[in-house]
Structure 1
């Protein structure tokens, strides 16, 4: 029998919240590239590769009440978040750009947005990956406690 939680269980908010964050991140990246015309760099594409499936995986898990989804979501969100950290450092830390992951097209150090001096697109992606990872870790801890 498949393990599900009762609808009144507050951990359901974590699953819905993670799904909502992944949807906002996916739609936000599409807004920046398709409506605002910002051309994604190589690292942006890698972050998208790890974020876009999360919108589908978490959506399906939410409607199926699949609380075991964390084992599939966590690797994607942690790897995507790591890429976001590297990208953010490439933009904001002088001298860190020596890795040169972007060899063609738009340079990864380019900043299309710079709100309040620290919020850039990789920062927004990092926040999304962190929120999803934290929600999944809380679900894992709650499941083990039961």
Structure 2
């Protein structure tokens, strides 16, 4: 059976990319709240900085998805880049590639190198980096197809 002229694939809707970016940011925000508030694992300083960039993303992307505001990439992309930069630095510290003069995790709190800080076998800093990266890719796609 051959496809007719009307069977060409449709381009993805820009709102779908916006909704996906919001869903990723919301899921990440709820996950870290669960880890911190339900599991009782206090985040280190670098995790707090990453939260400072992720939580606003969940809010502004949600409002933009509700309003179908396709220009939100201008405001959300810088948050994703900055949060991703902190997550990259945190991941490099975790991997031992960068040595820090100040230990990012306090002696009284959890250590990011602890096995309790692994989710699906991946460290939380790496998951954060992947999440910010996914949001940024979705925002780039949103910009690309909405202009």
TM over 0.5: yes
Give the C-alpha shift of residue 41 in structure 1.
0.3
TM-score (norm. length: structure 2): 0.82
Q: Which runs of 5+ in 1 are unaligned?
A: 1-7
Of 111, 118, 121, the residue aligned with 1:114 is: 118
Q: Does 1:67 align with 2:66?
A: no
Instruction: Spell out, residue by residue over 1:46-96, the C-alpha distance to the aligned partner (whole angstroms, 9 max, x if none).
Output: 0000000011100000010000000000000000011001111111125x2
Mapped to 2, the partners of 1:68 and 1:31 lie a distance apart of: 31
Against the structure 1 CA distance between its residues 103 and 49, is the aligned structure 2 distance closer, same or farther, given a 3 Å change threshold?
Answer: same
CA RMSD of aligned residues (A): 2.2
What residue in structure 1 maps to residue 139 of structure 2? Answer: 136
Larger radius of gyration, structure 1 or 2?
2
Q: How many residues align?
A: 135
Of 29, 39, 43, the residue aligned with 2:42 is: 39
Runs of 4+ in 1 over 4 A off after TM superposition: none
Of 90, 93, 102, the residue aligned with 1:90 is: 93
Q: Which runs of 5+ in 2 are unaligned?
A: 1-10
What residue in structure 1 maps to residue 104 of structure 2? Answer: 102
Against the structure 1 CA distance between its residues 48 and 116, is the aligned structure 2 distance closer, same or farther, given a 3 Å change threshold?
Answer: closer
TM-score (norm. length: structure 1): 0.82
Instruction: Spell out, residue by residue over 1:10-33, the C-alpha distance to the aligned partner (whole angstroms, 9 max, x if none).
Output: 221101100000010000000111
What residue in structure 2 maps to residue 5 of structure 1? Answer: none
